[in-house]
Amino acid sequence: MVQVNGLKKSFGSNEVLKGIDLQVSSGEVVCIIGPSGSGKSTLLRCLNRLEKIDGGSVIINNVDINQKDININKVRENIGMVFQHFNLFPHLNVRENITLAPVELGILSKDEADKKALDLLNQVGLSEKINAYPNSLSGGQKQRVAIARALAMDPDIMLFDEPTSALDPEMVGDVLNVMKDLAAQGMTMVVVTHEMGFAREVGDRVVFMDGGYIVEVDTPDNIFNSPKEERTKSFLDKVL
Ligand code: ADP
Ligand code: MG
């Protein structure tokens, strides 16, 4: 479903991705871990062309997303993205946040979108907040709405960039449980996370990045219990 080949990305003279190769299969959950500044967010942003790349290719569902003649908006409709800071529209209530994109893009009628919003809010445990505004929600609730909003487009793949890093500790579990349910339903997911417990339990594979490279990719069991690379070991020694 996702095929990244020799991906390079620089900001000015700072080469942030130095040749990334990564495949993600349908239904797979790939967790990306690694120190701050290693290029995790940049890699994720390259997967829906939020960044212009300098080399290599990103192929999603057999489409090379950096080709000039492709319709990037069509590609993005199939890629849900959830950020650390939620990015909900503050002037719209929860229902409107969730229904805006599918209605505006003509994918669902208003009635269909409203029904879907309620289904999705049930799924993330927030149906009673359907008319609430973002500023009345806790961080964990906002993040669950952000996940519901991304799901409203029926994406083939969901990208998460540290979805729990901005949350108070007591909210983290609710968001991780929603993500775990999603994984169990077969969603293809790429998750940048500092939650090693989640990566270990829910990840099919774990990618360790450092310095713009993928240092090691393996099953959670191998990464956490018998990492092959020194850099992986020393990172895990610091965070576990
Ligand atoms: P991570 O998510 O692993 O912490 P990032 O992908 O955010 O790492 O950043 C990797 C490097 O790229 C850092 O050195 C960061 O300063 C740089 N960087 C990221 N985004 C930009 C940008 N928009 N402009 C300039 N430098 C950037
Ligand atoms: Mg980041």
Residue 240 has a pLDDT of 87
- Whose CA is closest to 160, among 239, 19, 27, 44? 44
pLDDT tens for 19-69 read 999 999 999 999 999 999 999 999 999 999 999 999 999 999 999 999 999
Please state the rounded mean pLDDT for residues 172-195.
97
Q: Are 231 and 208 in contact (CB under 8 A)?
A: yes
157, pLDDT greater than 90: yes
Q: Which of 18, 33, 40, 42 to mutate to test the pocket of ligand 1 (most atoms within 8 A of CB)?
A: 42
Phi, psi of 170 (to 5 degrees): -75, -10
165, pLDDT greater than 90: yes
Pocket around ligand 1 at a 6 A CB cut-off: 11, 14, 16, 34, 36-42
Q: Are 146 and 88 in contact (CB under 8 A)?
A: yes
Interface confidence, given as ipTM, is 0.99
Question: 59 forms bridges with which residues in the sheet?
Answer: 3, 64
Length in residues, the chain: 240
Q: Using the structure block, give the residue that is written with the tokens 């960039």.
A: 161
Residue 63 has a pLDDT of 95
CA of 110 to the centre of ligand 2 (A): 35
Using the atom order of ligand 1, give the atom closest to the CA of residue 45: 6
